[in-house]
Structure 1
């Protein structure tokens, strides 16, 4: 009987080709995601390319603070709710609308159709302050250590905005949509203001940048 000798794999190449490809794909994804994370961590709060963007200030928001609007512009909703983000602010008056959200695990046995955590969310808050060029700001607020504290804090939540050195610049208050002022610039018409065509184009541009609350308020005014 002839002896059959099975060729052995070279040292260091015992993994299957499929396993090698899987490892390679995971490695590439990790590199891509790490690059995306660095770009997503800083959110620009304006449209276009304003000259003052080079001197933008930064507002650091931890995962518990969920920013909804900055200067009338709606911020993107990310897949991860508790993602800490830095918001780039144009120098000048800033209006930031946000809410506080904290999650606590339930103790004991949880039924299949029951949520496994307690979620506490504050009413929308607004903070207004003057953003200085290149300055770094952050939120400062009471951090609960128990579920009972979390419930209490959420019901009467208030936060401060402070500089990197801890100097307070503003206190938050409950947000009233009717009091918000948008800093979105109104495009200049090419023709005189009295021109029907340019006025219509201006109205269209303003309508496109208005919030839902502002649109409702305008329609109520227009049809009264």
Structure 2
């Protein structure tokens, strides 16, 4: 599960770690800055925590190397008509889940870049074709998002866990448990069901 670190009060920078455990590469993590309009839902197959405030700007710490980020873009527009009791006072316009994959460099900072609609009508027109770019600190576009297929899974966990010791002997009981946890996180629903059937036969 993601770990949220808050420095000071609510207006200060918030950083979400996107891995489990204490991988060595975490000391040189890259940063992905997400504005309030972007809600990151998964990073490398791991579900990110839902926070109480949907429009909270967050920084996501990413391990160097290939990363897969799934997110939703959302805009909110005030209604100009009379609002009845119980009816929402705003129009919420949301994109389909998007996915972007890119190679994160150690210590680099990335941000989302996308067109900002000037009206609700414009937002509604743009949403079916919505795409966001990932831009480096130097202003270079490193990737662009596409609609996410919920069946897609990254082939391997981004948190490195050794399968054996340096001399080739099997992993210990504790390491084996960690390895099983990592594999479980990246398994599809069908794979999890098949494993449970096998385990309890």
Normalising by structure 2, we get a TM-score of 0.80
Q: Does 1:168 align with 2:141?
A: yes
Q: Post-superposition shift, 1:180?
A: 2.3
Equivalent in the alignment of 1:64: 37
Runs of 4+ in 1 over 6 A off after TM superposition: none
Equivalent in the alignment of 1:43: 16
Q: Post-superposition shift, 1:93?
A: 0.5
1:201-224, Cα deviation, whole Å (9 max, x unpaired): 4774246x426xx3412046567x
Which ranges of structure 2 fall in alignment gaps of 5 or more residues?
1-5
CA distance in 1, matches of 2:41, 2:62: 14
Q: From the superposition, tell whether residues 131 and 34 of structure 1 become closer, same or farther in structure 2 (CA, over 3 Å).
A: closer
CA distance in 1, matches of 2:41, 2:61: 14
CA distance in 2, matches of 1:109, 1:218: 50
Equivalent in the alignment of 1:134: 107
Q: Post-superposition shift, 1:169?
A: 0.2
8 Å CA contact 2:161–2:179 kept in 1: the answer is no
Which ranges of structure 1 fall in alignment gaps of 5 or more residues?
1-32
Q: From the superposition, tell whether residues 78 and 175 of structure 1 become closer, same or farther in structure 2 (CA, over 3 Å).
A: same
Q: Post-superposition shift, 1:47?
A: 1.5
1:188 to 151, 154, 163: 163
1:205 to 167, 177, 181: 181
Give the number of the structure whose alpha-carbon radius of gyration is greater.
Answer: 1
User: Which protein has the bigger strand share?
Assistant: 2
User: Which protein has the bigger helix share?
Assistant: 1
Q: Post-superposition shift, 1:76?
A: 1.2
Please state whether the residue corresponding to 1:52 is helix, strand or coil: helix
Q: Greater CA deviation, 165-174 or 151-160?
A: 151-160
Q: Post-superposition shift, 1:60?
A: 0.6
Q: How does 1:35-184 map to 2 (within 5 A)?
A: 35-37=8-10, 41-181=14-154, 182-184=157-159
State the aligned residue count: 187
Considering only aligned residues, what root-mean-square deviation do their CA atoms show, in Å? 2.9
1:58-116, Cα deviation, whole Å (9 max, x unpaired): 11110000001111111111111001111111111111010101100000211112111
Normalising by structure 1, we get a TM-score of 0.72
Equivalent in the alignment of 2:3: none
CA distance in 1, matches of 2:102, 2:44: 11
Q: From the superposition, tell whether residues 74 and 61 of structure 1 become closer, same or farther in structure 2 (CA, over 3 Å).
A: same
